[in-house]
Structure 1
Amino acid sequence: MTSAAPAHRLPAVTDDGFVADVLESEQPVLVDFWAAWCPPCRTMRPLLERLDDERDDLRVVTMDLDENQRTAARYGIMSAPTMMLFRDGAPVRTLVGARPYSRLLSEIDGQR
């Protein structure tokens, strides 16, 4: 698939790396729980890449739900996309479904 946007890949985390990559992170981490079969997930990807590019105070990572069911079950992820903000090893905000960039920003910043 080709796109007009520059290629930017968000780091992917796995069940095995979740503790080190997310829970032990010194800065807040927004985890994008997504699935390949999910059209709204594809809609959100460029917005999350933009967020990652624009914010030095926040890490954005992705987690494939189909390949990492243990973590998804642990946090009760029932639909995709679900974005979960973690701070100091704990989830502080859960956002379910696609949304415009301005709303995503206001919801993330509401937890700062």
Structure 2
Amino acid sequence: MLVVALVAGVLLSLLKTWYDGRFRESPVVRGAAVDEDRVDASDLGVELGERATLLQFSSAFCAPCRATRRVLADVESMVDGVRHVELDAESNLDLVRRLDILRTPTVLVLDSSGAVVTRASGQPHKPAVIAALGTALAS
């Protein structure tokens, strides 16, 4: 029984590691009304990026959020017209609910019109962010 529990624990850990920080199609994009899958400047309190926006939801005691902030800031500095916006999830509960944010950090990649193109829960790696941003810039 102990061996089964250990194997199950290792498998769950590997699954979490594999899934964490990977970009995927947003569930908001698949089934929502047009106005629900868009974010605009009034939602964020700042203007969207000219070409794309990296929208990060964080919380106060989230260690991966700090690492995610650094990765997104690096990508923002590399690509003209891209803006990184970080929001505190607790202070923006209406937006968190509307966009189905379940954990922090969550990163949404928005196109120039504010439509959610893709999302990642957990800390994404820089190459994954760049690839997801390429999808948004191509749309």
Aligned positions, number: 96
Name structure 2 gaps, 5 residues minimum: 1-40
User: Structure 1 residues 29 and 65 mapped into 2: Cα distance closer, same or farther (>3 Å)?
Assistant: same
2:117 matched residue in structure 1? 92
- Equivalence for 1:70: 94
* Residue among 128, 131, 136 paired with 1:103: 128
Higher helix share: 2
Moved over 4 A (4+): none
Amino acid at match of 2:86: T
| CA distance in structure 1 between the aligned counterparts of 2:44 and 2:58, rounded to whole angstroms | 18
Shift of 1:51: 1.2
The one-letter code matched in structure 2 to 1:92 is: V
- The 1:106/1:70 distance shift into structure 2, 3 A limit, reads same
Partner AA of 2:130 in structure 1: L
**Structure 1 residues 20 and 99: alpha-carbon distance in aligned structure 2, compared to 1, 3 A threshold:** closer
Give the equivalent residue in structure 2 for 1:8. none
Aligned to 2:107: 83
Partner residue in 1 for 2:55 = 31
TM-score (ref. length: structure 2): 0.60
Q: Scaled by the length of structure 1, what TM-score is found?
A: 0.73
Bigger Cα displacement from structure 2, 70-79 vs 101-110: 101-110
For 1:4-83, what aligned pairs fall within 5 Å after superposition?
Answer: 17-18=42-43, 21=46, 26-83=50-107
